[in-house]
Structure 1
Amino acid sequence: MPSKICIIGAGAAGLVTAKHAIKDGHQVEIFEQTDKVGGTWVYSEETGCHSSMYKIMKTNLPKEAMLFQDEPFRDDLPSYMSHEDVLEYLEEYSKDFPIFFNTTVIDVRRDGEQWKVTISTNSNLSIHFYDVVFVCNGHFFEPLNPYKDSGFVGEMLHSHDYRRAEHFEGKKVVIVGAGPSGIDITLQVAMTARHVTLISKKATYPVLPKTVLQIASHVKSVYGFGVTTDEGENITADVIIVCTGYVFKFPFLDSSLIQLKHNGLMVSPLYQHLCHVDYPQSLFFIGLPLGTITFPLFEVQAKYALSLVSGKGKLPDDIQNFEERRLKTLENPAAFHILVEDQWDYMKELAAMGGFEEWNFMETIRKIYCYIMIERKKNVIGYKMVNFELNEDKSDFKIVKI
């Protein structure tokens, strides 16, 4: 029997959920607080807003590994695309979807057998009722900055508010964190800054620009004129750019429903990073896992969740124990939603429980992903300067240097 479904957010996770929910015959309404689709892929010169996109950005994954099933990117695009290319893809993908723009979800709560959703459009509040709610509001908008109250007298910003390298011309810049954003920003800022110091336990890259000093350590503290490492080394700076990631945030959910644990890095109580354990067939969170291939993973999550909505999918009896079992495998509980190598078995498991076929091409995506992880470590400057060419049956690929 069709359900009335509310989807919060028109980024990639919300759009692929809508696509499959509509295909399954459900009545769908998507609420998006901005005026366009795309979520984190929408660039804005404005800072302090929802977007974390910077002016010049190539994707960290090639188009061959970040597509929705049956929806390839344009053939004429390079493998590593611009954010504009990805946004165009999402706009095309979501044509004719029932999206309510400039509409903010204020509150979601259980009301009998339904979900009561309060929304605000142009400051006018209205209440709607749904059988199922999908939370797809992303997790690149609430910066995690452990140093924000440090008393640093120069300029400090989080990568969320980084837009362009010209701003740092002639400056002495310290960048904290060497994840994808930290490295991208380091390479861009190195072209304009007088000197860049990259500090992270991951800062062990064999090749970086000559103006970059990397220190494989942790920033213990920030003082008025710079940072102090764990080893007690003081590094002065005009600017500190903090690339320490994001916390999860759901301002429309009461803490009696969802708790954020381990400094906002774990969403609880969920089964498979996806279903609320008390409402496993009607309250879902798409796109929480980190260190993944994103778009294809969102799609597998959406398909499994919808299999539960229809009653076709399976749920084990012990879903309440999922978190405890997962935490026992981790050294750091803050890594709860980081999958990386676990993502492949995770998607296989969801497909098996959801009763839908695995995507054959996923094995090729896995090969591409593994190749990229190795190449990125060896040559973080040049690993994107290639195109991937798939063979005829798309079971393998070759690399073509640009």
Structure 2
Amino acid sequence: MQFTKKVCVIGAGAAGLVAAKHAIREGHEVDIFEQTDQVGGTWVYSEETGCHSSMYKVMKTNLPKEAMLFQDVPFHEDLPSFMSHESVLEYLIEYSNDLPIKFNTTVTNVTTIKNSVVTDSFYNVVFVCNGHFFEPLNPYDSSKFKGRILHSHDYREAEDFKDKNVVIVGAGPSGIDITLQVAQTAKKVTLISKKAAYPVLPKTVVQVATHVKEVDETGVVTVEGDHFEADAIIVCTGYVFKFPFLDSSLIQLKHNELMVSPLYQHLCHVDHPTSLFFVGLPLGTITFPLFEVQVKYALSLIAGKGKLPSDATIHNFEDARLHGLQNPAAFHTMVEDQWEYMAELAEMGGFEPWEYMETIRKLYAYIMTERRKNVIGYKLVNFELSKDEKEFKVVDFASQ
């Protein structure tokens, strides 16, 4: 017989919503604490800068709706495959209907008492779902640059850089999105990153495949000593993790705050593997479906049905993963590892893997290939699934 638990969910973004939804289905008492006045987390756009939002004004998803849905909750059929951030937010708002959310409520402290995790009120279980796209990683924050320097966290629209000479540092998803937008208004864009080797970019964009050594008063200096002058610099170097409500005795941030420790399977606290969970830490993944798999595994552990390995294996998880990585800062980065990871969680949790996940895997592989070949146009398509949803095809080109 499963006993009802009191469950605290911190954050009403996608991870928090799916955690709450499934915990309620399992019969638990759930409270969701959200520090802002609405659901959506990173999908909430704000014209303000320096706030929780990292969303820019015009943004299409990097994954299509066919690959970023919660199980049994499809996006509206009339939406294009690559959606606007407004459409994703509407999806999350609909998904959150009837959930017990306490808005404008900030969790300031989480402690443990007799092996139970608590906030101001007593809870048996805590799901930490506060996101990781709100604390910028900016190696050049203290530079003496005389122009405008900002992190992608505070980028909102291309018009702000009209007729400017702009240097963009970093060519990940945000770096490329911002490059393509700013190239429409700026006089010149210089994209600097080891990943800056795209075969097709606008004529106003110069790619420099290297690292930035420093930012000086007038621009940037590469590791080779080349200098690029700029009126503005946009730093697209990602984000660090931050948990202001957790004491360092409970959680430590390692490798430039890019690794959350000590966790088993990027999810369970090693000392509280059935009561303290961190949903949504993995990077380079399909996000929403992966969050749901993590939550299902966590709930299986809460119910006493899921499997955990020996304490030694749990505590050795981090060392084993670090041993196979060249860069420890990539501890939570999965990409191709995500499929095996989700299958493993499903097996240990004793629940059937989502059959449609194989279609998502195929879509993901197709999109990653197309993105490398044509980063400008890969989002300008729509997909159609076969009747059994095991295959897909490109059916038309979406409007820009």
TM band (smaller chain):
over 0.9
2:74 — aligned with what? 72
Superposed CA RMSD: 0.5
1:351 — aligned with what? 346
- What displacement does 1:217 show? 0.5
- What displacement does 1:324 show? 0.4
1:367 — aligned with what? 362
1:377 aligns with 2:379: no
> For the residues of structure 2 that align with 1:265 and 1:180, how far apart are their CA atoms?
18
Tell me if the contact between 1:292 and 1:339 (Cα under 8 Å) persists in the aligned partners. Answer: yes
Q: Deviation per CA, 1:131-178, whole angstroms, max 9, x where unpaired?
A: 000000000000000011111111000000000000000100000000
The one-letter code of the counterpart of 2:307 is K
- What displacement does 1:49 show? 0.5
Tell me if the contact between 2:60 and 2:85 (Cα under 8 Å) persists in the aligned partners. Answer: yes
> For the residues of structure 2 that align with 1:50 and 1:356, how far apart are their CA atoms?
35
Q: 1:340 aligns to what SS in structure 2?
A: coil
> For the residues of structure 2 that align with 1:274 and 1:234, how far apart are their CA atoms?
43
The one-letter code of the counterpart of 2:53 is S
Tell me if the contact between 2:118 and 2:124 (Cα under 8 Å) persists in the aligned partners. Answer: no
> For the residues of structure 2 that align with 1:246 and 1:385, how far apart are their CA atoms?
28
> For the residues of structure 1 that align with 2:117 and 2:241, how far apart are their CA atoms?
22
- What displacement does 1:260 show? 0.1
The one-letter code of the counterpart of 1:197 is T
- What displacement does 1:281 show? 0.3
Which of 237, 242, 261 aligns to 1:244? It is 237
> For the residues of structure 1 that align with 2:99 and 2:68, how far apart are their CA atoms?
21
Q: Please give the residue correspondences for 1:17-56 in structure 2 after superposition, counting only pairs within 5 Å.
A: 17-56=19-58
2:228 — aligned with what? 235
Tell me if the contact between 1:113 and 1:131 (Cα under 8 Å) persists in the aligned partners. Answer: no
Q: Deviation per CA, 1:245-275, whole angstroms, max 9, x where unpaired?
A: 0000000000000000000000000000000
> For the residues of structure 2 that align with 1:85 and 1:108, how far apart are their CA atoms?
33
> For the residues of structure 2 that align with 1:250 and 1:243, how far apart are their CA atoms?
22
> For the residues of structure 2 that align with 1:55 and 1:200, how far apart are their CA atoms?
24
The one-letter code of the counterpart of 1:90 is L
2:187 — aligned with what? 194
1:138 aligns with 2:138: no
Q: Please give the residue correspondences for 1:39-118 in structure 2 after superposition, counting only pairs within 5 Å.
A: 39-117=41-119
The one-letter code of the counterpart of 1:98 is P
Q: 1:20 aligns to what SS in structure 2?
A: helix
> For the residues of structure 2 that align with 1:250 and 1:221, how far apart are their CA atoms?
29
- What displacement does 1:113 show? 4.0
Q: 2:46 aligns to what SS in structure 1?
A: coil
1:185 — aligned with what? 178
> For the residues of structure 2 that align with 1:271 and 1:151, how far apart are their CA atoms?
41
> For the residues of structure 2 that align with 1:113 and 1:77, how far apart are their CA atoms?
46
Q: 2:110 aligns to what SS in structure 1?
A: strand
1:324 aligns with 2:331: no
2:276 — aligned with what? 283
Taking structure 2 as the reference length, the TM-score comes to 0.98
> For the residues of structure 1 that align with 2:199 and 2:396, how far apart are their CA atoms?
20
> For the residues of structure 2 that align with 1:142 and 1:33, how far apart are their CA atoms?
15
- What displacement does 1:116 show? 2.5
- What displacement does 1:111 show? 1.5
1:391 aligns with 2:379: no
Moved over 6 A (4+): none
The one-letter code of the counterpart of 2:85 is H
> For the residues of structure 2 that align with 1:338 and 1:400, how far apart are their CA atoms?
32
Q: 1:322 aligns to what SS in structure 2?
A: helix
The one-letter code of the counterpart of 1:41 is W
Size of the aligned set, in residue pairs, is: 393
> For the residues of structure 2 that align with 1:309 and 1:97, how far apart are their CA atoms?
20
Q: 1:356 aligns to what SS in structure 2?
A: coil
Which of 284, 289, 292 aligns to 1:299? It is 292
Q: 1:344 aligns to what SS in structure 2?
A: helix
Q: 2:253 aligns to what SS in structure 1?
A: strand
The runs of 5 or more residues in structure 1 that have no matched partner are 118-126
Instruction: State the percentage of identical aligned residues.
Output: 75
> For the residues of structure 1 that align with 2:244 and 2:166, how far apart are their CA atoms?
34
